[in-house]
Chain A
Amino acid sequence: MPLKGTIVVDEHLCKACELCIDACPQNVIALNDDVINSRGYHPAYLVEEGCTGCSICAIVCPETAITVYREELVRE
């Protein structure tokens, strides 16, 4: 069972280049049609469950707009 993760995209930095959307192995990122930032872009955001915190989106993001979080592995 992969760890749960999540991302926070800085809406002001995102330029909707869609590299994160294309790179996400879980296909859980999309552009948010309900938001337009000051530059006129629809920023990326998590649209579905399933983020594993793998950070691939943050790695490809040219704006360093994405902060990635993940559950810590709890060992019994």
Chain B
Amino acid sequence: MSDFNPKIVAFVCNWCTYAGADLTGTSRMKYSPQVSIIRFPCTGRIDFMLLLKAFANGADGIIVSGCHPNDCHYSSGNFHARRRWIVFRGLLDFLGIDVRRVRFSWVSAAEGAKWAQLVNDTAEHVRQLGPFSGYHRLRGLGVG
């Protein structure tokens, strides 16, 4: 398992977590290279289907992160996202999809250290869980 390098996609909001990750960089804090970021204006924009697409295309783990409640740049996008994740996570879990592979977090623009910690923790955690072969095995014709 130790030579398994998990692929982790991070869906983050521009105003908080993306900026927080920028701060991690500016502060030269080091973290695992397993995680790559995709930028959204707000966590409210993150469609749940994108998470399934990430897993279907080989991701072993996912991070979803945005502004803390009450701090959303658009005032309520993260509140809508929260409701969405509460329901979606419950459904995935019910279907036997390991929700430990999806890490939800609030990381603000000032929390560079928290971002580094989050990435390292998630990478290690997913490394322990191993490749998401159970999901990756679900394939078929013309998958994309």
Decide if A and B are genuine partners: no
- Which residues of A are in contact with B by a Cβ distance under 8 Å? none
- Which residues of B are in contact with A by a Cβ distance under 8 Å? none
